[in-house]
Structure 1
Amino acid sequence: MADTSHGPASFWTQADALLRKNLTFQKRNIKTNIRLIAFPFVLCLLLVLIQALVNHELDKPENKCGCSCVDTNGDGKCEKVCGLEFSDFDQAPTCPITSPPEWPPLLQIPNPDQRAVISDIIPYKDLPNESCKKTGSCPVTLLLTGNNKSLGGILAGNMFTSSFILNSSSTLDELTNSVLGSESMPQQNNFLDPAFYSGLPIYNVQRQCTQNSTFSVQVPVASTEVQEEVRCVQALNLWRNSSAEVNNQLYKGYRKGNSERKINEILAAYDFLNSNQNNFNMSIWYNSTFKNDSGNTAIGLLRVPRSVNLVSNAYLQFLKGPGTKMLFDFVKEMPKPGTETRLDFSSLLGPLFFSWVIIQLFPVVLASLVYEKQQRLRIMMKMHGLGDGPYWMISYAYFFTISSIYMLCFVAFGSAIGLKFFTLNDYSIQFVFYFIYINLQIALAFLAAAFFSNVKTATVVGYICVFGTGLLGGFLFEFFVEDTSFPRGWIIVFELYPGFSLHRGLYEFAQYSFTGDYLGTDGMRWRDLNDSKNGMKEVLIIMTVEWLLVLFVAYYVDQVVASGSGKSPLFFLQRFKKKRSSFRMPSLQRQESKAFVQTDKPDVCQEREKVEQLLLESNTSHSIICDDLKKVYPGRDGNPSKFAVRGLSLALPRGECFGMLGPNGAGKTSFISMMIGLTKPTSGTAFIQGLDIQTYMDEIYTSMGVCPQHDLLWDTLTGREHLLFYGRLKNLKGHSLTKAVEESLKGVNLFHGGVADKQAGKYSGGMKRRLSVAISLIGDPKVVYMDEPSTGLDPASRNSLWNVVKRAKQDRAIILTTHSMEEAEILCDRLGIFVDGSLQCIGNPKELKGRYGGSYVFTMTTSANHEEDVVNLVKGLSANANKIYHLSGTQKFELPKHEVRIADVFQAVENAKSRFTVFAWGLADTTLEDVFIKVARGAQAFNILS
């Protein structure tokens, strides 16, 4: 594995490595992508199916223009003729109308129980008493104001006649001579006025009603004649002193609190302004209740022309006398061709369904980001040299590309199957809208990922947002948008939530496509964005600002919270500060701590003094220098603080493998975590290749390799693809990269048998471990950390791994933690035994065995009745012998080396065999395991006593 490094990888090299890895990962998940894209396809097909079923019903004869067999030529043969005269009310709207009927002009009359009366809201005494509502005899009120009250009274008196008599033979032509009105809801055209077939009465507005003022007339509607009732209603003209007073009464009379029920309504209000005999200047207030302000066209026509005609006719009579009249005969619609009744369900259901289609990308992106965080793959990439810049650029571009392809397929498929929602609206507006929203959605996913550490939790929350946003948007927010009385400012506040912005934009597309399909016109165009009733412009502005803001906040939070050990909240100010030197002089605080460690073992104190001397030098060959490194975890729930690492000082030169031994919980992993940037030291620091881990961790990562305690791998990537990715991060290219990958795979016995090209998720535990070791060594890192690298390996693989590590340590510093004494003795140039956060001893294996193993271990097994003879034998060899084991005739003793000769031991055993039976015996030197147990027990006993 002697690959050659070419210096730290550049920004674009790192970006290329991550892009290649993501594309490979995406190729492995092709089935998941197909299922993802299939969701909008299935939804669009479902809308098409619903549309086809509805169209089938609408195409039935009872829903089309009525037809009949008519003898048009008098030859006795009938022909099928369709027209309004053969249609009922349901069929009439679809018929061609070459000569639209003439309808008398109408006023919009308030319902009898909603007409203005005296109340606590409108306490005017000239209004009628509320008791008239019980009898249905309330008049309709007109409010008058202006600069000339006398002129106003004259004009008001000229508006309505004192009486009007209709006979049973009255026709529509005669009805136009009276002032008529209706409480029915008007339609958007005048082909068929609902006032003449709705069953509601038609009102004849007069100055005074007589007892016999109700008549019935026959009105021709479509192919039938409808008998309509014409009732008299009195017009009550009331003067007000100012237009402000009129406006106040109109506003208060329209609604009471938040109630939708209209009370105290006024028929109309007239402000004569400065009108006089030479000048006619008017303002008219009218009821626009039946106009749909949230849509793009009026649902109901406004019945305003008759109000204008009344006051104009009254002024004309004021000038020319009562015999002069300006007649208003009728209103009528333009001719129309035959039409088909159609309901575009993609527009009706689009805001709800398509919200779900688009927002479902959010949990997909979120889960992917949280997966890398949960599996610690993000920090693994960072520890091998991937900078935040390339990671953000490629990850963002990667998710943006996937989202764009998804949206392109969605719009293209919807257009291909003919959904009006897509085909009628301008594609450029759709492009801008979807472009901005998917960018905002990706930025939100990056921000949300910082607050999740579990993929399942993030996924559940993400899909709750999907369905919750769609339902709240369709069944709550949409009602607010359509309610003209709801404050527009609050609509904007709602749209600050991105899901509601999306729903509002889809709602606008749906409104324009529905209307365009119904009227045969275009959908939304860029010019329509200037319409005050169109909310698309404000949605685009809100989403653009939020996208940039959320993206900035997400990056900031990632740097402070989610990126490795995190940075200071004011990290962006560091560039304005003078960078401190890599090495620093020992501070006074460090000097004060020396008294605390004077009781350390001489070898530990010597290592500390060596570190202090190295810190004073400007250049050094030591790759790793730990300076009084401490880690304290604060106490919780009443428990005391936990000292994981207590003032560790250590120096490693190039070419040395340092083994860290210690029992579980001793602090080895905490030490490694600080060195690789996973956690921050409580105090002290360390220098890697001369760079401080507190300040220059990003630079340190470029020359560092890590084999963590738990394998951090992508399940869907192969072993070769893992090494290619990490090799590129270490700036290996071309032939050098290929060679390094092959050597790495051969070195850890993963090259042959197709193992290298098998997905890592199918590896055994030992194979994953070997791959992790190979990853840590590829690219010639100068510093390598291996946390229990041989865990789970079989003897053959372990021996092969040891050979790899021995070759790799030639020109790099390696820190290795292990529980295998054999591994430590074979691989490590020096060992340190770590107990309860402190380094207890340090040295090479021979030194430690010599220092802590100054005794032989004598073992003998006899029958139980000769155990005392064995004890006497040992006492004869050494008076200071110490029994360390005794079970069923087997006894072990420690014999000080300086008191015992090996020849004497053999002689004593031979003599003992002549006196009693010896089943087995042995004499062994101290092993490293014995040293480890002795040091660990001694340190733990000391800590308990202290």
Structure 2
Amino acid sequence: MDGKINTCGCTCIRKADNGDCEEEKCGFEYSSLSQASSCPIPKPPQWAPLLQIPYAEFRSAKTDSNTFPDLPDASCRSEGTCPVTVLFTGNNATLGKAWTKNMFPETLSIGKDDIWDDGRSAISLSRVPRSLNLASNAYLQYMKPGAQMPFEFTKEMPKGETKISIDLSSILGTLFFTWVTLQLFPVILTALVYEKQQQLRIMMKMHGLGDGPYWLISYLYFLTISVIYMLCFVIFGSAVGLKYFTLNDYGIQFLFFFIYVNLQIAMAFLVAAIFSDTKTAAVIGYIMVFGSGLLGNFLFQLFVQNPSFPRIWVMVLELYPGFALYRGLYEFGQYATKASLLGMEGMKWADLSESRNGMLEVLIIMFFEWWVLLFVAYYIDQIVSSGGAKGPLFFLQKSRANPPSFKTAIISMKRNGSEVFVEIEKPDVREEMLGVYSDPSFFPQRKNVEKLVCEPSDSHSIICHNLRKIYPATDGNPEKLAVKGFNLALSPGECFGMLGPNGAGKTTFISMMIGLINSTSGTAIVQGLNMATDMDKIYTSMGVCAQYDLLWETLTGREHLLFYGRLKNLKGDALTQAVEESLKSVNLFHGGVADKQAGKYSGGMKRRLSVAISLIGDPKVVYMDEPSTGLDPASRNTLWNAVKQAKQGRAIVLTTHSMEEAEALCDRLGIFVDGNLECIGNPRELKARYGGLYVFQMTTTSDHEDEVEGMVKGLSRKATKIYQISGTIKFEIPKGDVRIADVFQAVENAKSRFPVYAWGLADTDLEDVFIKVARRAQGVDHVLS
């Protein structure tokens, strides 16, 4: 290849049986740009000898400043009739006149086609014998009338200036234009990964946006941006006069760029399924941009220009979209360069059938690859976005119009031995699953979970039966049993609160119920629909306030609610009214806060907006994971009022660390510890069942602590000391062992014996119940382990 760079290009047109070339053709049309300058030109254009003759308006005329009386008047310049003046010097005037008659025949005429204008000087060039030839012919005719010495079509000077037309954009623009076109790829890629990283897509899905509409809307959005971008690119290039665009057919350019931007979008969807971090995706995207351009310019182009390199391998390389783009832009540049040098037209539709034109194969490859990548991207996305619910062969599973009932599923699980039951020792938890609720007056229609699973009805919004989640062992760590056989039946209009220490499994349970992760075993029914098979239908009647604010930072609070309201089929005045009521309910309506970008909101404002999003559109089931985190007391009270109003007609599952919030909002509470539901009931029941104690506290000097302890033991021998530091002692006293009047009397007696700085007697609150249950459960687990 290197030895042929400075030679004219050739191609073999007939090969022998042994593979040798019997006949080849060489020439400009078989050469690359670097070889074309070495090719001979078979029929070079011929130039006649030229004589420089000035324009009529610049020819000599009579003026006041000259001394030649025989010159015409200057008025001939405006009329264009001034004759050409030729100076003849010599002593023999008769000979001069005779020669003059022979120099310019009377038939000589100069027309517009004989005038050349370079745009810079007032010089015309006529195709008449040059001065020396004129004089020679005049002398010959004087000596021998009729004799002539023709001097035509010889490359002599002066001649017309040749404009060198080299379009640098066609020669050097392929690499640059490749980079310009590929700049959209990392933009699309990071936008897709951002929605996945911030869990915005799953948030939209949980509010009713299916995979099909999401793909269609996102694809059309990116396609619109890409088409506008490429149109501006071509229009700008044409406007500044780049022959790369003006000489090639615009129809071919539009078809090429349209197919490629579709292929680029499909590739971005495919690559986005692999990454979950925006920064990593952006780095990889720009590496692909610059890497594709450089490899195309310094490697792939050499293969294309080398006639000995197998064409099939060029097509294989073009399967990579970056090389396909480079090949198409390279062909545009080649045709534009040849057209610019030879005064020809650029690439036309008829040129696509030429064997040396690679544009047709590139269009075909990109078109089919576009659909293949789109299908593969959607297939991988279905597996990845399902969190493992769909296997690699999910498309082979037969769709069932009527999925089996829970009763059928439970019977099947019992027969196969796949159902795992947890031994339940807590009476209240056992009653939730197997027996009648302990306080029928609180929920008189309550049935146990076992009956509801086998005979589902519309009286319960949520039914969970033996729901479990096991995280597999990773990085040398053992597997983690996050949720251990959870059972719950929740009615419309009921708010169920989940309490528990960090890592207890509350968020894992919420994540299973909203479809973020899949349960390991167990069953759940929401609004009469099987969570395992009908999650897409469940999403249409579900609202979610996740533990972290899942918001677009560039959208305003009002725009968020408008978007999610439309997903819940709200339109027109109903949508506007619902948005305003939601903003007012969480105190985001006044002061222009609703129209500020969410990225400028404080943490508390974002939290309130997340709660408003979960409640818009009248969802029948709402999950709130620590909704009041980070709120000030006033905002928290506003939020509680909004949740209380929203309870009407819908079931709410709420996790919180605030005992005050649990008592204010929740009709029933469940305390979670290490994946187990340790107790369940309304706040009054839990305090009565796990409380039953007075908390007595006294502060005195350090040397009188023993006397305080003796006083308390005198009131009740079952009193338990739970806290002691620097003279402050706290005890738990069973309510049945002591009367409040006896406590007051004992304190009055103690004041006369030693100093008492402070004292107090309090009933058990929910926080005490939570701490007691959590400590007991963790202590039992510690002993068992």
Give the TM-score range, shorter chain.
0.7 to 0.9
Cα distance, 1:862 vs. partner?
Answer: 1.9
Cα distance, 1:693 vs. partner?
Answer: 1.4
1:376 to 190, 199, 223: 199
Give runs of aligned pairs for residues 366-445 of structure 1, distance below 5 A: 366-445=189-268
Q: In 2 relative to 1, CA 702–941 (structure 1 residues): closer, same or farther, beyond 3 Å?
A: same
Cα distance, 1:881 vs. partner?
Answer: 1.0
1:747–1:800 CA contact under 8 A, matched in 2: yes
Q: In 2 relative to 1, CA 943–589 (structure 1 residues): closer, same or farther, beyond 3 Å?
A: farther
Task: Report the counterpart of residue 753 of structure 2 in structure 1.
Answer: 915
Task: Report the counterpart of residue 461 of structure 2 in structure 1.
Answer: 623
Cα distance, 1:548 vs. partner?
Answer: 0.6
Task: Report the counterpart of residue 165 of structure 1 in structure 2.
Answer: none
Cα distance, 1:890 vs. partner?
Answer: 1.4
Give the letter aligned to residue 454 of structure 1: D
Secondary structure class of the residue paired with 1:722: helix
The answer on 1:776 being equivalent to 2:614 is yes
Task: Report the counterpart of residue 698 of structure 1 in structure 2.
Answer: 536
The answer on 1:945 being equivalent to 2:761 is no
Give runs of aligned pairs for residues 58-137 of structure 1, distance below 5 A: none
Secondary structure class of the residue paired with 1:915: coil
Give the letter aligned to residue 587 of structure 1: I
Give the letter aligned to residue 538 of structure 1: E
2:501 to 654, 663, 667: 663
Q: In 2 relative to 1, CA 303–399 (structure 1 residues): closer, same or farther, beyond 3 Å?
A: closer
Cα distance, 1:299 vs. partner?
Answer: 6.1
Task: Report the counterpart of residue 127 of structure 1 in structure 2.
Answer: none
Task: Report the counterpart of residue 597 of structure 1 in structure 2.
Answer: 422
1:366–1:445 CA contact under 8 A, matched in 2: yes
Give the letter aligned to residue 606 of structure 1: E
Secondary structure class of the residue paired with 1:584: helix
Task: Report the counterpart of residue 334 of structure 2 in structure 1.
Answer: 511
RMSD of the TM alignment (CA)?
2.8
1:70-92 deviation per Cα after TM superposition (whole angstroms, max 9, x unaligned): xxxxxxxxxxxxxxxxxxxxxxx
Task: Report the counterpart of residue 634 of structure 1 in structure 2.
Answer: 472
Q: In 2 relative to 1, CA 696–286 (structure 1 residues): closer, same or farther, beyond 3 Å?
A: closer
Give the letter aligned to residue 605 of structure 1: R
2:660 to 812, 815, 822: 822
Cα distance, 1:573 vs. partner?
Answer: 3.0
1:862–1:918 CA contact under 8 A, matched in 2: yes
Task: Provide TM-score, normalisation by structure 1.
Answer: 0.66
Task: Report the counterpart of residue 847 of structure 1 in structure 2.
Answer: 685
Cα distance, 1:389 vs. partner?
Answer: 1.3
Give the letter aligned to residue 176 of structure 2: F
Q: In 2 relative to 1, CA 515–863 (structure 1 residues): closer, same or farther, beyond 3 Å?
A: same
Give the letter aligned to residue 341 of structure 1: I
1:635–1:642 CA contact under 8 A, matched in 2: yes
1:301-321 deviation per Cα after TM superposition (whole angstroms, max 9, x unaligned): 58999xxxxxxxxxxxxxxxx
CA distance in 1, matches of 2:456, 2:297: 69
Secondary structure class of the residue paired with 2:226: helix
2:464–2:487 CA contact under 8 A, matched in 1: yes
Give runs of aligned pairs for residues 188-587 of structure 1, distance below 5 A: 248=18, 250=20, 285=23, 288=26, 292=30, 339-562=162-385, 567-577=390-400, 579-585=402-408, 586-587=410-411
Task: Report the counterpart of residue 108 of structure 1 in structure 2.
Answer: none
Task: Report the counterpart of residue 805 of structure 1 in structure 2.
Answer: 643
Q: In 2 relative to 1, CA 901–664 (structure 1 residues): closer, same or farther, beyond 3 Å?
A: same
Cα distance, 1:342 vs. partner?
Answer: 2.0
2:189–2:272 CA contact under 8 A, matched in 1: yes
1:718–1:757 CA contact under 8 A, matched in 2: yes
1:296–1:512 CA contact under 8 A, matched in 2: no
Cα distance, 1:756 vs. partner?
Answer: 0.7
Task: Report the counterpart of residue 723 of structure 2 in structure 1.
Answer: 885
Give the letter aligned to residue 542 of structure 1: I
2:671 to 833, 836, 839: 833
CA distance in 2, matches of 1:784, 1:471: 53
Task: Provide TM-score, normalisation by structure 2.
Answer: 0.79
Give the letter aligned to residue 345 of structure 1: L
Q: In 2 relative to 1, CA 530–594 (structure 1 residues): closer, same or farther, beyond 3 Å?
A: closer
Cα distance, 1:290 vs. partner?
Answer: 8.0
Count of aligned pairs between the two proteins: 653
The answer on 1:677 being equivalent to 2:502 is no
Secondary structure class of the residue paired with 1:922: strand
Task: Report the counterpart of residue 765 of structure 1 in structure 2.
Answer: 603
Cα distance, 1:480 vs. partner?
Answer: 0.7
Cα distance, 1:675 vs. partner?
Answer: 0.5
1:384–1:701 CA contact under 8 A, matched in 2: yes
2:9–2:26 CA contact under 8 A, matched in 1: no
CA distance in 2, matches of 1:250, 1:385: 68
Secondary structure class of the residue paired with 1:781: coil
CA distance in 1, matches of 2:232, 2:777: 67
Cα distance, 1:572 vs. partner?
Answer: 2.4
Secondary structure class of the residue paired with 1:939: helix
Cα distance, 1:411 vs. partner?
Answer: 0.3
1:583–1:615 CA contact under 8 A, matched in 2: yes
Secondary structure class of the residue paired with 1:639: coil
Cα distance, 1:583 vs. partner?
Answer: 2.7
Secondary structure class of the residue paired with 1:815: strand
CA distance in 2, matches of 1:402, 1:578: 39
Give the letter aligned to residue 286 of structure 2: Y
Cα distance, 1:900 vs. partner?
Answer: 1.0
1:186–1:301 CA contact under 8 A, matched in 2: yes
2:9–2:32 CA contact under 8 A, matched in 1: no
CA distance in 1, matches of 2:396, 2:481: 32
Give the letter aligned to residue 407 of structure 1: M
Cα distance, 1:887 vs. partner?
Answer: 1.3
Cα distance, 1:621 vs. partner?
Answer: 1.1
CA distance in 2, matches of 1:531, 1:460: 40
1:352-375 deviation per Cα after TM superposition (whole angstroms, max 9, x unaligned): 110000011100100111111111
Task: Report the counterpart of residue 149 of structure 2 in structure 1.
Answer: none
Give the letter aligned to residue 748 of structure 1: V
The answer on 1:860 being equivalent to 2:698 is yes
Unaligned 5+ segments in structure 1 are 1-112, 115-182, 189-242, 252-283, 306-331
2:9–2:35 CA contact under 8 A, matched in 1: no
1:292–1:300 CA contact under 8 A, matched in 2: no
Q: In 2 relative to 1, CA 854–519 (structure 1 residues): closer, same or farther, beyond 3 Å?
A: same
Secondary structure class of the residue paired with 1:513: helix
Cα distance, 1:790 vs. partner?
Answer: 0.3
Cα distance, 1:582 vs. partner?
Answer: 4.5
CA distance in 2, matches of 1:372, 1:563: 15
Give the letter aligned to residue 600 of structure 1: E
Cα distance, 1:944 vs. partner?
Answer: 1.0
1:551-604 deviation per Cα after TM superposition (whole angstroms, max 9, x unaligned): 111111111113566523233234445642343342365597999533420111
Q: Percent identity, please.
A: 67
Q: In 2 relative to 1, CA 548–186 (structure 1 residues): closer, same or farther, beyond 3 Å?
A: closer
CA distance in 1, matches of 2:736, 2:160: 121
Q: In 2 relative to 1, CA 575–597 (structure 1 residues): closer, same or farther, beyond 3 Å?
A: closer
Q: In 2 relative to 1, CA 184–721 (structure 1 residues): closer, same or farther, beyond 3 Å?
A: closer
CA distance in 2, matches of 1:346, 1:298: 18
Cα distance, 1:794 vs. partner?
Answer: 0.2
CA distance in 2, matches of 1:893, 1:347: 90
CA distance in 1, matches of 2:163, 2:379: 57
2:207–2:567 CA contact under 8 A, matched in 1: yes
1:450-469 deviation per Cα after TM superposition (whole angstroms, max 9, x unaligned): 00111111111111111111
1:293–1:533 CA contact under 8 A, matched in 2: no
- Please, which moves more after superposition, 474-483 or 915-924? 915-924
1:286–1:304 CA contact under 8 A, matched in 2: no
1:385-440 deviation per Cα after TM superposition (whole angstroms, max 9, x unaligned): 11111111111000000000000001001001110000000000001000000000
CA distance in 2, matches of 1:333, 1:385: 83
Q: In 2 relative to 1, CA 546–588 (structure 1 residues): closer, same or farther, beyond 3 Å?
A: closer
Q: In 2 relative to 1, CA 934–891 (structure 1 residues): closer, same or farther, beyond 3 Å?
A: same
CA distance in 2, matches of 1:287, 1:439: 40
